[in-house]
Amino acid sequence: MINDKKVLFSGMQATGNLTLGNYLGALKNWVTLSDEYECFYSVVDMHSITVRQNPAELRKRARALLTLYIAAGLDPEKNCIYYQSHVSGHAELAWILNCFTYMGELNRMTQFKDKAAKHADNINAGLFTYPVLMAADILLYQADVVPVGIDQMQHLELTRDIAIRFNNIYGDVFTVPEAYIGKVGAKIMSLQDPAKKMSKSDENPNASIYLMDDTDTILRKCKRAVTDSLGEIRYCEEQPGIRNLIDIYSACTGKAPQETVKEFEGRGYGEFKQAVGEAVVSVLKPLQDRVHQLEKDKAYIDSVIKNNADKASYFAGKTLRKVQKKVGFPERIRG
């Protein structure tokens, strides 16, 4: 707990381009949390290299993501916005926690199995121990809460198990984090396959709306969105494509799904898709303008990177020194 506020940790990988789903489902909600929590928002670039990356591209995407955090409304004075790789405590704590994590636990991680199947030519140890680094990310800042989707819940459970195991051996060292249960962001599905989530790694470029897509691209993708032949705008499971478009429109306009259904009652899919596209543009255009403005101010972004890395390192260091002492590492001679 910092300044009587509970601590919240979250982060996104610096790979791919963020989608409308990332924004409406997570990033937009992060902005509202800084009044209630002491927030650490990381660009988790260390996690990114479990899959081979182009180095120049990774650096570029990491900076773009950090800039997007700020453009979305995260105030770097109120929130700690930083690169994971700039805080060495993440790697140091991950190694220690590796020694308190069992192989059987890691073998059960479904995300490892999924990623190993996708990258059969590069099943590396980092991919296997990825959940331990994630545990270090969270425990390093004594996070009380972590906003997680269903796909990350298994990793948070492992984090809790590791923290409890360590505390049982060495006393009250780590805060045992809880899943953040608050206002749930909109769950946005693929425009081409509404049975799966909109993803920044989707191979079909028409499946996802990216945050930096221009107006024409957004309108075109909405126009091509998969619907059905029923010709009615209803919010039901039998019409997943239309339901998804209703969710997008509602999230962008602040209207309830049933309000949206009523608004477009008796109107055609073409007209509805156009309205959805325009609603998305109205949300993303101000964000894009702010990104372009921030990109021009290199000195400001550089200062955020430095100052927030220093802040994150300070809090990480407090936890790390306590852990190092508990496991028996010799005390460092300073000064």
Q: Considering the candidates 28, 115, 221, 273, report the single residue annotated as catalytic.
A: 115
Residue ranges of the annotated binding site for ATP are 13-15, 21-22, 149-151, 188, 197-201
User: 200 and 251 in contact (C-beta within 8 Å)?
Assistant: no
The residues pairing with 5 across neighbouring beta strands, listed in sequence order, are: 2
CA 35 to chain centre: 19
User: CB burial class (10 A; 0-12, 13-18, 19+) of residue 238?
Assistant: exposed
User: 57 and 90 in contact (C-beta within 8 Å)?
Assistant: no
Q: Considering the candidates 200, 255, 322, 326, report the single residue annotated as catalytic.
A: 200
Q: Is 113 a catalytic residue?
A: no
Pairing label, strands 80-83, 145-146:
unpaired
User: 281 and 212 in contact (C-beta within 8 Å)?
Assistant: no
Structure tokens of 76?
């770097």
Amino acid letter, residue 202 = D
Q: What is the spatial distance between Cα 134 and Cα 253, in angstroms, rounded to a whole number?
A: 34
Q: Is 200 a catalytic residue?
A: yes
Q: Considering the candidates 28, 197, 221, 273, report the single residue annotated as catalytic.
A: 197
Q: Is 6 a catalytic residue?
A: no
Element (H, E) at 89: helix 89-98
Provide the edge-to-edge strand list for the sheet that holds 6-12. Answer: 80-83, 37-43, 6-12, 145-146, 178-179
Which residues have a catalytic role annotated?
115, 197, 200
